[in-house]
Amino acid sequence: MSVLAEARILKQEEVAPGCHRMLLQAPEAAGRAAPGQFMHVRCGSSADPLLRRPLSVHDVDRGKGTLTLLYRAAGRGTALLAGLGPGAGISLMGPLGRGFSLPAGAGLRVALAAGGIGVAPLYFLLKELVSRDFFVYVLVGAQTAEDLLCGDDFKLLGSRTSFATDDGSCGHKGPVTDLLESLLASGGVDLVYACGPPPMLKRVAGLLTGTGVPGEISLERHMGCGVGACLSCVCKVRSGAYRRVCADGPVFPVEEVVWE
Amino acid sequence: MSKESKNGTPAGSGKNGRGDKNPVLAVDIGGIFMKNPVTVASGTFGFGPEYAPYVDLNRLGAVVVKGITLRPRPGNLPPRIVETPAGMLNAIGLQNPGVDHLVTEILPYFKQFDVPVIVNIAGETVEEYASLAGKLDRVAGIAGLEVNISCPNVKKGGMQFGSDPLTAAEVVRAVRAATGLPLVVKLSPNVTSITAVAAGVAEAGADALSLINTILGMAIDVKRRRPVLGTVTGGLSGPAVRPVAVRMVWQVYKEVKLPIVGMGGIMSAADALEFILAGAAAVAVGTANFVNPRATMDVLEGIEAYLVENGVRDINKLVGAAHG
Ligand SMILES: Cc1cc2nc3c(=O)[nH]c(=O)nc-3n(C[C@H](O)[C@H](O)[C@H](O)COP(=O)(O)OP(=O)(O)OC[C@H]3O[C@@H](n4cnc5c(N)ncnc54)[C@H](O)[C@@H]3O)c2cc1C
Ligand SMILES: Cc1cc2nc3c(=O)[nH]c(=O)nc-3n(C[C@H](O)[C@H](O)[C@H](O)COP(=O)(O)O)c2cc1C
Ligand code: FES
């Protein structure tokens, strides 16, 4: 169950241009969070900007009671967060939403595909998968080498990590979905998880269609409440109905999502 | 009990700035008895369970559920929300599972609580409002109906009904004929004279009024050179609308003798007290729930503290007090 709490910032650093990692003392949320869930974060205490910002749980340390967010300073709210230093307190709601479903079977080969800041929820997922002895391929994409996030962290966890950049400054030149395409063609993948910008996720959906390989993707929508009450954040699913990204997602089976 | 009252001095006389520790908070909104004046604004609190992790629903004066229509509505094409200075625009389009689902799947949830449930209803025609009210008339667990004649986000009905005193009265008369439940009529701020509409619906049989619904607005994405919202326009809510809402409560209180549920940008107890002093007998917390899921409790506790500090024994004594 979600909690509302004031969390203290223990550490904050810029890990790539415009991307920040914030370590928070948030024992209750850290204890409850599952990979793919998000925190609804207040960016200050003023009425402007008014709404909370949804940010994925990037990592937790249950022993220490800490929770990490990894975010891009994309606009006013996240810029305010980026300006906060150790000791400052922020209001957190969460963990919220339905995260990734973790496979039951043993020995599965899993691919994680991250585009840009989409690595944020996948790192937590990878830790969970590795602890359950799955074989994991991690595919990380970004615009340039210096924008690549968490590459070393992924390698440290013992996964097979490959990179793709738009300008070819690191790894494959082209979208990260090219890497997924080759991997799928080799027949070596039983399950795919992806997070990234909409065009990337749409491509992932296209690649998986007809392969029989199941996949889950994490979606982004502008949110009000974050708890399923306001119906602001909907996405259309196969049945034609609107589902709430905050409460029915943010993670959906890839074939459920209708691309409009 | 305070020391003063034990000694025979009336509690809450306020002589030394300290009143009864347990001031009267109960209010009667046209036959809906609320243990305190704090409720929630329809559409901002879901159907109730969504906020149960944060708020003990038993402590609310009432729960007002998301607007319900005769048949399920899918709602508008996204994007449905955009943040604006100290506020937000929404264009949800009354997405809801329909009245039958409400009765069989949602209302039973409230059996475990001791809180009045107010059902917010909306229709595309006068007949639809009446049949909704008729369907809900004898359903157990409903304390009253809030008649939404002011939704700016639906193509048919909605705000149209609330913008003309005669049509507004026609809807209320039809609903009145269909049910004996207390009727709170929710007014639109998107009118030339809110007092004219208020007087019209009072005449037609409303038991109470709630105001304001959202203010029609829009935002344009300057990069794409297109309106941000899928529906072009949306309803503005949040602190940005508060002065408009307080003004309207003030005006309606002066002209119409019905209890008022005041809302529009209430974030704190001080904001809520503005509405009460302007003439609202109860207040509804809306957009603030998104920002602070415990906003209702903060408002309630703050009002209680204000009464104690100022030696006011009964919240009802503050209603409209700013009129002098
Ligand atoms: C479930 C979920 C998880 C997310 N996880 C992360 C994460 O781990 N790291 C990260 O960097 N970003 C994440 N995002 C995106 C992040 O929420 C937005 O970048 C952020 O809200 C932008 O706020 P802003 O004030 O900086 O930008 P502004 O553009 O000034 O924001 C204006 C409004 O638009 C909303 N908004 C703008 N962009 C987005 C977006 N992409 N998604 C949702 N709302 C948006 C804001 O919340 C705000 O209400 C996630 C989004 C969702 C829905
Ligand atoms: C997301 C959202 C959905 C709403 N849905 C409804 C609704 O279904 N019926 C209704 O009468 N009012 C609806 N409203 C209006 C609110 O109940 C309230 O009148 C308005 O938001 C002003 O209060 P606030 O500024 O405190 O939010 C909605 C408002 C918001 C923000
Ligand atoms: S953000 Fe309110 S329902 Fe999803």
The predicted-structure confidence for B178-209, as pLDDT tens digits, reads as follows 999 999 999 999 999 999 999 999 999 999 99
Q: Is the pLDDT of residue B18 over 80?
A: no
Q: Do A29 and A64 have their domain in common?
A: yes
Query: What proportion of chain B, given as a percentage, has pLDDT over 90?
Result: 86
Dihedral pair phi/psi, residue A252, rounded to 5°: -130, 150
Q: Is the pLDDT of residue B65 over 50?
A: yes
In this structure, are residues B311 and B66 in contact, taking their beta carbons and an 8 Å threshold? Answer: no
Q: Is B238 a catalytic residue?
A: no
Domain that holds residue A12: 3-96
Q: Is the pLDDT of residue B2 over 60?
A: no
Nearest residue in chain A measured CA to CA from B86: A48
CB hemisphere CA count around B114 (13 angstroms): 3
Q: Which ligand is nearest to the CA of B287?
A: 2
- Joined together, the tokens standing for residue A152 give 């070393």
Give the per-residue pLDDT at B156. Answer: 62
Domains and CATH numbers, chain B: 15-318 (3.20.20.70)
- Mean pLDDT throughout A234-247? 96
Q: Do A69 and A134 have their domain in common?
A: no
Residues of B in contact with A227 (CB under 8 A): 46, 50-51, 53, 293
Each residue of A81-104: pLDDT tens digit? 999 999 999 999 999 999 999 988
Distance A136 CA to ligand 3 centre (A): 32
Last residue of a domain, one of A62, A96, A130: A96
Which of A47-61, A191-205, B77-91, B141-155 shows the lowest per-residue confidence on average (mean pLDDT)? B141-155
- ipTM here: 0.96
- Mean pLDDT throughout B231-252? 97
Asked if the structure places residue A50 within a domain, the reply is yes
Q: At what angle do helices B194-203 and B165-178 cross, to 10 degrees?
A: 30
pTM, to two decimals:
0.95
Give the per-residue pLDDT at A250. Answer: 98
- Joined together, the tokens standing for residue B66 give 């998301």
Each residue of B72-93: pLDDT tens digit? 999 999 999 999 999 999 999 9
- Mean pLDDT throughout A8-35? 97
- Mean pLDDT throughout B317-324? 97
Put simply, the answer to whether A47 touches B88 (Cβ < 8 Å) is: no
Q: What whole-number distance in Å separates Cα of residue B250 and Cα of residue B323?
A: 8
Q: What whole-number distance in Å separates Cα of residue B84 and Cα of residue A51?
A: 10
Q: Do A116 and A60 have their domain in common?
A: no
Most B CBs within 10 Å, among A96, A230, A245, to test the B interface: A230
Asked if the structure places residue A153 within a domain, the reply is yes
Q: Looking up tokens 């004066």, which residue turns up? A: B61
Q: Do A120 and A91 have their domain in common?
A: no
Q: Do A73 and A121 have their domain in common?
A: no
Mean pLDDT of chain B: 92
Give the per-residue pLDDT at A103. Answer: 84
Distance B174 CA to ligand 1 centre (A): 45
